[in-house]
Amino acid sequence: MKAFQMLFVLLLAAAAEGQSLHFGKCPRPPVQQDFNVAKYMGTWYEIEKLPSLFEKGTCNQATYSLLSDGTVKVLNAELLSNGKINSIEGVAKVKNSTQPAILDVSFFKGVPDSPYWVLSTDYQSYSLVYSCTDYYGSFHIDFAWILARTRLLNKEVVSQLHDELVSAGVNINNLLVSDQAGCEQSKAKINERPIIGILTQNSRYLPPNSKGYIASSYVKFLESGGARVVPIMVNREAEEYKRLFNSINGILLPGGAANITSSGYQRASKIFYELAIEANKRGDYFPVWGTCLGYEQLTVLTSGKKLLTRTNTNGMSLPLLFTKEAKQSRMFKSFPAELMEALASEPLTENSHKWSVSVLSHNTNKDLKNFYKNRVCVNRGSIRLPDLWDTVAPGEESVMSTFYTAHFFVNEARKNFHTFESKEEERSALIYNYNPVHSPPNSGFEQKYIF
Ligand SMILES: *[C@@H]1O[C@H](CO)[C@@H](O)[C@H](O)[C@H]1NC(C)=O
Ligand SMILES: *[C@@H]1O[C@H](CO)[C@@H](O)[C@H](O)[C@H]1NC(C)=O
């Protein structure tokens, strides 16, 4: 009974995954004569395969290397849709030296080895691999791969290998063609050196001749996620902003107290916002981030209205209230589950707001509702930057939330490929050209860049 149930579950699982399942025992097709494992080493690209549950990406490839004990190190890699490489390492062994083309591969400890039979190979262009496992002596599941030294294999060779599979008893109608298109370019699909602009703002608390400031915590925030920072000065020519837009990979509109309907902050935000929308329409991915005032500024730019509600949450720590849609948020998906629980139940976010955009405004203003997904923290919360040491020291979970948030935004900026026209221009734009200063007590931010 137990065995039957187990078999039934296995059958269901295999059928659901679209694997090749057959009644009867595994066939025993002939293998490559005088197989030379050393000549087989190196990289092989997957051309076709019988569906396998372990592979979900594209650009699948396997790299084999001979280890000193005669076993083979296996490194399988594929490209996932998010641009990341998924790889897995295993070891292959010849079971019986009289049959060197019959190997066993193991990827995880405790999981049974899988057979790896090299049915035929010329070592330098193609290889045909078969793997079959018997279950309870009554059915079997098999896999097959057509591999090649290049990402494209001659059609005649493929058709010859199909014939070999047919005579081995494999149903070639189930073979899937592997996607090896654009694999070389996609290696460069991530910008390894993202640079993000942070908008400065004026404040009446700055020294008389100052042109603006940035709280250092915003710079550290982006640096913790792997980006470098360029300050964006207010009150510059639109042409200068346009040039800068084409040089950076994202923009952060920070919190503060600038006027969001009429100020240098508002004007620069509007220019970058409009350039970003235009660029994104062309497929030039350019992320825009707003924290606190920056977020309020974005809602004004989107709706053409100032939809703020008086809020008095000064120096308050609050938990976040997640909407139902939060589960679909790409940002929150990247947060560990424990952290999400902590954010929802503990007062981890810093709130120093005189104004807020209420859920009601979000839901009733058509422009906001159509443009933004209010998946997020509805509780007037903003992710705490490790800055307000005066009020309350950020605990570990706050620091982690900040990190995951930064990591998400910087990764978005990695999808943009704007660059400065020269290394010199990049060098002179970076925030490293300026020194932050320690602020006097109770001035809101512990450390600032004053320009
Ligand atoms: C290896 O294969 C040969 C030939 O099939 C067989 O005689 C021998 O017993 C096998 N050795 C082991 C260790 O299984
Ligand atoms: C922002 O600037 C406009 C135009 O100068 C002014 O009418 C408005 O009162 C200012 N808003 C705030 C909050 O100071």
pLDDT in the model for residue 3: 45
Nearest CA owner, ligand 2 atom 11: 259
Cα(409) to ligand 1 centroid in Å equals 58
pLDDT in the model for residue 382: 44
Cα(81) to ligand 2 centroid in Å equals 46
Tens place of pLDDT for every residue, the chain, 451 residues? 344 444 444 444 444 455 667 888 899 999 999 999 999 999 999 999 987 666 678 889 999 999 999 899 999 998 887 777 888 899 999 989 999 999 999 987 767 789 999 999 999 999 999 999 898 878 888 889 999 999 999 999 999 999 999 998 888 888 888 888 777 765 557 898 999 999 999 988 888 899 999 999 999 999 999 999 999 999 999 999 999 999 999 999 999 999 999 999 999 999 999 999 999 888 788 999 998 899 999 999 999 998 888 877 777 777 888 877 777 777 888 888 898 898 888 887 777 778 878 878 878 888 888 888 755 544 333 444 444 444 555 678 888 888 999 999 999 999 899 999 999 999 999 999 999 999 887 777 889 999 9
pLDDT, one tens digit per residue, over 251-302 is: 999 999 999 999 999 999 999 999 999 998 887 889 999 988 999 999 999 9
Rounded to whole angstroms, the maximal C-alpha distance in the chain is 87
pLDDT in the model for residue 7: 47
Cα(109) to ligand 1 centroid in Å equals 26
Query: Ligand 1 within 6 A of 97 CB?
Result: no
Atom of ligand 2 nearest to the CA of 262: 2
Tokens standing for 395? Answer: 């605990």
Atom of ligand 1 nearest to the CA of 96: 1
Nearest CA owner, ligand 1 atom 1: 96
From the CA of 260, the nearest ligand is 2
Alpha helices in 126-182 (DSSP H): 155-167
Query: Ligand 1 within 6 A of 96 CB?
Result: yes
Cα(103) to ligand 1 centroid in Å equals 14
Tokens standing for 418? Answer: 């704007």
Residues lining ligand 2, Cβ inside 6 A:
259, 261-262
Q: Which of 94, 95, 96, 103 to mutate to test the pocket of ligand 1 (most atoms within 8 A of CB)?
A: 96
From the CA of 99, the nearest ligand is 1
Domains and CATH numbers, the chain: 2-177 (2.40.128.20), 195-450 (3.40.50.880)
Nearest CA owner, ligand 1 atom 6: 98
Atom of ligand 2 nearest to the CA of 260: 1
pLDDT in the model for residue 11: 46
Q: How far apart are CA 253 and CA 301, in angstroms?
A: 12
Cα(97) to ligand 1 centroid in Å equals 8
Which residue in this structure is represented by tokens 């060197």? 100
Active site residue 26: no
Nearest CA owner, ligand 1 atom 5: 98
Query: Ligand 1 within 6 A of 98 CB?
Result: yes
Question: pTM above 0.75?
Answer: no
pLDDT, one tens digit per residue, over 331-350 is: 888 888 898 898 888 887 77
From the CA of 96, the nearest ligand is 1
Nearest CA owner, ligand 2 atom 12: 259
pLDDT in the model for residue 377: 46
Q: Which uninterrupted H or E stretch holds 278?
A: helix 264-281
Closest to 201 (Cα-Cα) out of 306, 300, 291: 291
Nearest CA owner, ligand 1 atom 12: 96
Nearest CA owner, ligand 2 atom 4: 262
pLDDT in the model for residue 36: 95
